[in-house]
């Protein structure tokens, strides 16, 4: 899939200009009190830029050059890296690795376990992997949990929104917190 970073970002700019909170993911991550965060599948950098604004050291990684071009322009002080998450090797770990915005759903079919493993390699001992994605699109939470387990992570909690609304067990969206 080819993206246009500026067009993608414009959606969130419009929502923000209408007074909508577009930083639920960042607020969730901040509740974990991280010093260092990897925004895996960062897209245009919306989450990473907000985390940096809140004082967190952030690295953003994405596979799409157009998305990263927009991110670099909007967040010039942040480290941005072009990489496939399956092969990600930054040589460092983070307190939290976040995959916001359906990252695992955009992975090539059959590579989700490699995406999870690539992200999990960057979670410090005691750290967290947080992911939010829509359900009913060919990848479910049981499979995601198994991929996390294979990568050395354990489920701590699951919610139906980034605002931590209760998980009904059969919702249309899941936010999952796994720890090493």
Q: Which of 167, 85, 179 is nearest to 126 (CA)?
A: 179
- Residue 10 pLDDT class (50, 70, 90 cuts): low
Q: Domain extents for the chain? A: 5-9+22-164+172-179
Q: Which of 170, 147, 149 is nearest to 158 (CA)?
A: 170
Q: What distances in angstroms separate CA 148 from CA 24, 110, 116, one per listed residue?
A: 23, 15, 6
- pTM score: 0.89
Rounded to whole angstroms, the Cα distance separating 143 from 14 reads 34
Report the DSSP beta bridge partners of residue 178. Answer: 129, 155
Contact 112, 147 (CB under 8 A): yes
121: pLDDT strictly greater than 70: yes
pLDDT of residue 107: 92
Helix (H) or strand (E) holding 61: strand 57-62
**Is 5-9+22-164+172-179 CATH 3.90.1150.10?**
no
Could you read off the pLDDT of 123-155 as tens digits, one per residue?
999 999 999 999 999 999 999 999 999 999 999
Q: DSSP letter string over 127-156? A: EEEEEEEESSSS--HHHHHHHHHHTT-EEE
- Residue 5 pLDDT class (50, 70, 90 cuts): low
How many Cα neighbours within 13 Å face the side chain of 80? 27
Six-digit token string for 164: 């931590």
Could you read off the pLDDT of 45-100 as tens digits, one per residue?
999 999 999 999 999 999 999 989 999 999 999 999 999 999 999 999 999 999 99
Report the DSSP beta bridge partners of residue 154. Answer: 179
């Amino acid at each position: 899939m080819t993206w246009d970073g500026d067009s993608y970002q414009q959606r969130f700019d419009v929502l923000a200009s209408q007074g909508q909170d577009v930083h639920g993911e960042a607020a969730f991550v901040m509740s974990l009190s991280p010093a260092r965060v990897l925004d895996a599948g960062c897209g245009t950098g919306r989450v990473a830029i907000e985390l940096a604004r809140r004082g967190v050291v952030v690295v953003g990684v994405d596979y799409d050059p157009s998305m990263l071009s927009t991110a670099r322009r909007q967040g010039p002080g942040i480290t941005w890296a072009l990489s496939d998450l399956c092969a990600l090797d930054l040589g460092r770990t983070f307190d939290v690795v976040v995959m916001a915005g359906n990252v695992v759903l955009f992975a090539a079919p059959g590579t989700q376990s490699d995406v999870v493993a690539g992200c999990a390699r960057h979670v410090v001992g005691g750290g967290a992997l947080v992911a939010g994605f829509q359900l009913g699109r060919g990848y479910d939470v049981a499979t995601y949990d198994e991929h996390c387990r294979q990568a050395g992570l354990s489920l701590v909690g699951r919610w139906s929104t980034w605002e931590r609304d209760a998980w009904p067990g059969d919702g249309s969206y899941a936010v999952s917190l796994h720890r090493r």
